[in-house]
C-alpha cells in the first residue's frame, strides 16, 4: 500500500519545489541573455570573416580578378553588370565634369582680368595711394565738422524742438503748458554744448545746414565705398578661381580627390554585393572549386563554420531555453494554485501519496538538467575553432565536427534532416596532430530527450494530479 502523507508535508514540499522552480526560471533568464550575447558575438565574427573572404576572392576590379571571382563562386552578376565598366563610366563622367569646370574657371578668370575695375585695382584701391582711397579720405575729412555739429546736437527731444519750431517767432506753445518747460530745458541743454553765446535759433540753423552737408557727403562716400567693395569682391573671386584651378592641376581639388577614390569605392560596393551572395550560398555547391584554392578554402571554412555555429547556438537557445519557459511558468502557476487551495481549512485532513511529492521534486530536476545541457552545448559551440577539419561537401555534418560527436540534437533542423538522408551515417573523429591530446572516452549527450522531457512537463503534471485535486 502506498505511503500517504499529510497536507502539511505536501504544502512544505510544494513550497520548496516552487522556490526551486523560481530559481531555475531565474537561471533560465540569465542563460537566455547570455545566449543572445554569444549569438551576437558569433554574428559579428562571421561578418568579419565574410568581409575578409570577399576581399580575397575579389582582389580588385581587373578583368582577371572578376573572372576569377565569377568562376570560383558562380556569382555571374559580377560579369553581367561589371563593376569595372561602371567604374570606367563614372570616371569618364567625373573627368568630363572636372574638365568643364576648368574651362569655366579659365574663361571667368580671363573675363575678370579684362575688366577695368580689376586692371586698375592698384591705381584705384592701393592703400593710402589709390585714387578711390584718397577720395574717401578727403570726403571723410570734409564731412567731419558737420558730423561734429550733429553729434553735439544729439538729444532725445531734438526732433520735437524742430517740429514745433522752438526758438523761432513761430513757436506757439503757451508758457503754462508742461511741454513748454520741457522744450525750454531741452533747448538750453543743446545750446550749452556749443561754446560762446548762441541762441537756439542759431544752433538750429547750424544743425540743419550740417545735416544737409553731411547727407551730400554720405551720398558720395556710399558710392565710392560701393566701388571699392565691388573691386574687392572681384579680386576675391579672381583669387579663389586661381586657387581652384591650381588645386585641379595639383590633384587636390575636391572632385579630383573623389575621382581618385572611385576605384576603392566601386571595389567596396562590389565586395558588399559578393558578401550578400555568399551569405546565402551553400558552400557545398562550390566545395570542389574551393579545393583548388587552399587559402581561400580555409577562409571559406572559417566563415561557413561561424555561420553554422551561429545557427546552432540560436536554435539551441530557441529549443532548449525558449521552449522550456511556458512549461516552467505553467508548473509554477499550478503549484501556486495548489498551495492556495490546500491552505484552506476544509482540506485539513487531505492526504497525498508520497509518489506525488516525488514527482514534484523530479520536475525541477528535469528542468535543471535541461539548462545544464544547454550550457554544455553552448560552451562546446562557441569554443570550436578547428575549421580546418571541415569538408565543404553535402555528406558532411558540421554539428558533429563542432561538438566532436558528443551531443545528439535531433531538435536542430539540419541535424534531423541530415540523419534522415543518411540513415547509416556514423561520425568519425578527424585525425589529430601528434601533439594534441585526444579524449577517447567521451560521453555522448542526447539533448533531444531532455528537451522532450521538459516540454511535456505540464502534461505529466496534470496527469499526476488528476486524482489528487478536487
Question: What are the tens digits of pLDDT across the range 56-72?
Answer: 999 999 999 999 999 99
Quick check: 454 pLDDT over 70? no
Residue 242 lies in a domain: no
Q: Is the pLDDT of residue 128 over 60?
A: yes
* Minimum mean pLDDT range among 67-81, 118-132, 154-168: 118-132
What pLDDT sits at residue 215? 95
Confidence of residue 438 (pLDDT cuts 50, 70, 90): very low
- Domain assignment present for 342: yes
In the prediction, which pLDDT does 47 show?
Answer: 97
Arithmetic mean of pLDDT, 412-418: 91
Please compute the mean of the pLDDT values over residues 42-67 and round it to a whole number. Answer: 96
Give the model confidence (pLDDT) of 7-17 as tens digits: 888 888 888 88
| Domain annotation covers residue 29 | yes
Q: What is the per-residue pLDDT for 327?
A: 84
Mean pLDDT of 285-307: 95
Spell out the residues 6+ positions from residue 60 whose beta carbon is closer than 8 angstroms to its own. 267
- Residue 411 pLDDT exceeds 50: yes
Q: Strand, coil or helix: what is 396?
A: coil
pLDDT tier at 299, thresholds 50, 70, 90: very high
pLDDT digits (tens, 9 = 90+) for 62-117: 999 999 999 999 999 998 988 999 999 999 999 999 999 999 999 999 999 999 99
pLDDT of residue 208: 94
Report whether pLDDT(408) > 80. Answer: yes
Q: In the prediction, which pLDDT does 144 show?
A: 94
Mean of pLDDT values over 368-391 = 92
- What is the reported pLDDT for 432? 66
Mean of the per-residue pLDDT values for the chain? 87
Which stretch of 230-239, 306-315, 333-342, 396-405 has the lowest confidence by average pLDDT? 333-342
Name 235's Cβ contacts closer than 8 Å, sequence gap at least 6: 118, 121
195: Cα within 13 Å, side-chain hemisphere: 0
Tens digits of per-residue pLDDT, 331-348?
A: 889 889 988 998 998 888
Beta pairing partners, 407: 445
Structural domain that includes position 438:
4-76+278-464
pLDDT at residue 123 tops 50: yes
Q: Where are the alpha helices (DSSP H) in 280-353?
A: 287-290, 294-316, 324-342
126 located within any domain: no
Q: Would you state the pLDDT for residue 275? A: 96
Residue 62 is assigned to a structural domain of this protein? yes
pLDDT value, residue 445: 54
C-alpha cell at 399: 554539428
Q: Would you say residue 441 has pLDDT above 60? A: no
Report the domain count for the chain.
1
> Which pLDDT band, with edges at 50, 70 and 90, does 446 fall under?
low
Q: What is the pLDDT of residue 35?
A: 95
- The residue that leads in pLDDT, 44 or 128, is 44
Distance set, CA 236 to CA 35, 128, 229, 409 (Å): 64, 20, 10, 76
Report the pLDDT value the prediction gives residue 458, as an integer from 0 to 100.
Answer: 40
- Cα angle 206, 208, 211 (rounded to 5 degrees) comes to 105
379 band by pLDDT with thresholds 50, 70 and 90: very high
24-43 average pLDDT score: 95
* φ/ψ of residue 146, rounded to 5: -65, -40
Give a yes or no: residue 90 inside a domain.
no
Residue 87 lies in a domain: no
Residue 429 inside a domain? The answer is: yes
What distance in Å separates the CA atoms of residue 90 and residue 24, rounded to the nearest whole number?
61
Amino acid at each position: 500500500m502506498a505511503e500517504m502523507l499529510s497536507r502539511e508535508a505536501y504544502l512544505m514540499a510544494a513550497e520548496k519545489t516552487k522556490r526551486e522552480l523560481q530559481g531555475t526560471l531565474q537561471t533560465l533568464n540569465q542563460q537566455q541573455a547570455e545566449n543572445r550575447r554569444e549569438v551576437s558575438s558569433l554574428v559579428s565574427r562571421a561578418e568579419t570573416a565574410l568581409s575578409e573572404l570577399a576581399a580575397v576572392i575579389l582582389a580588385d576590379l581587373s578583368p582577371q580578378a572578376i573572372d576569377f571571382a565569377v568562376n570560383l563562386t558562380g556569382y555571374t552578376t559580377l560579369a553581367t553588370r561589371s563593376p569595372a565598366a561602371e567604374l570606367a563610366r563614372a570616371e569618364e563622367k567625373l573627368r568630363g565634369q572636372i574638365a568643364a569646370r576648368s574651362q569655366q574657371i579659365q574663361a571667368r578668370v580671363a573675363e575678370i582680368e579684362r575688366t577695368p575695375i580689376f586692371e586698375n585695382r592698384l591705381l584705384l584701391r592701393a592703400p593710402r595711394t589709390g585714387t578711390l582711397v584718397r577720395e574717401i579720405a578727403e570726403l571723410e575729412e570734409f564731412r567731419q565738422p558737420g558730423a561734429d555739429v550733429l553729434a553735439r546736437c544729439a538729444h532725445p527731444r531734438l526732433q520735437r524742438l524742430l517740429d514745433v519750431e522752438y526758438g523761432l517767432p513761430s513757436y506757439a506753445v503757451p508758457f503754462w503748458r508742461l511741454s513748454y518747460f520741457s522744450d525750454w530745458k531741452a533747448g538750453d541743454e543743446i545750446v550749452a554744448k556749443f561754446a560762446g553765446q548762441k541762441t537756439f535759433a542759431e544752433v538750429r540753423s547750424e544743425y540743419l545746414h550740417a545735416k544737409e552737408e553731411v547727407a551730400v557727403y554720405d551720398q558720395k562716400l556710399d558710392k565710392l565705398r560701393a566701388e571699392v567693395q565691388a573691386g574687392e569682391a572681384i579680386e576675391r573671386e579672381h583669387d579663389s578661381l586661381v586657387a581652384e584651378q591650381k588645386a585641379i592641376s595639383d590633384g587636390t581639388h575636391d572632385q579630383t580627390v573623389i575621382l581618385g577614390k572611385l576605384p576603392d569605392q566601386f571595389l567596396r560596393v562590389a565586395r558588399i554585393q559578393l558578401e550578400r551572395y555568399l551569405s546565402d550560398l551553400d558552400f557545398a555547391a562550390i566545395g570542389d572549386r574551393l579545393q583548388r584554392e587552399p587559402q581561400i578554402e580555409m577562409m571559406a571554412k572559417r566563415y561557413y563554420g561561424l555561420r553554422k555555429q551561429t545557427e546552432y547556438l540560436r536554435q539551441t537557445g530557441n529549443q532548449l531555453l525558449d521552449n522550456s519557459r511556458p512549461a516552467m511558468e505553467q508548473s509554477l502557476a499550478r503549484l501556486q494554485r495548489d498551495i492556495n487551495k490546500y491552505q484552506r481549512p476544509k482540506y485539513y485532513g487531505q492526504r497525498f501519496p508520497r509518489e506525488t511529492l516525488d514527482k514534484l521534486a523530479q520536475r525541477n530536476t528535469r528542468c535543471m538538467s535541461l539548462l545544464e545541457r544547454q550550457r554544455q552545448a553552448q560552451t562546446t559551440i562557441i569554443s570550436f575553432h578547428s575549421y580546418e577539419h571541415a569538408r565543404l561537401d553535402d555528406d558532411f555534418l558540421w554539428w558533429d565536427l563542432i561538438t566532436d560527436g558528443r551531443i545528439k540534437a535531433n531538435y536542430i533542423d539540419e541535424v534531423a534532416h541530415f540523419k534522415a538522408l543518411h540513415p547509416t551515417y556514423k561520425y568519425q573523429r578527424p585525425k589529430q596532430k601528434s601533439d594534441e591530446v585526444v579524449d577517447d572516452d567521451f560521453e555522448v549527450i542526447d539533448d533531444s530527450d531532455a528537451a522532450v522531457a521538459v516540454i511535456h512537463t505540464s502534461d505529466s503534471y496534470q496527469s499526476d494530479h488528476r486524482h489528487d485535486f478536487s
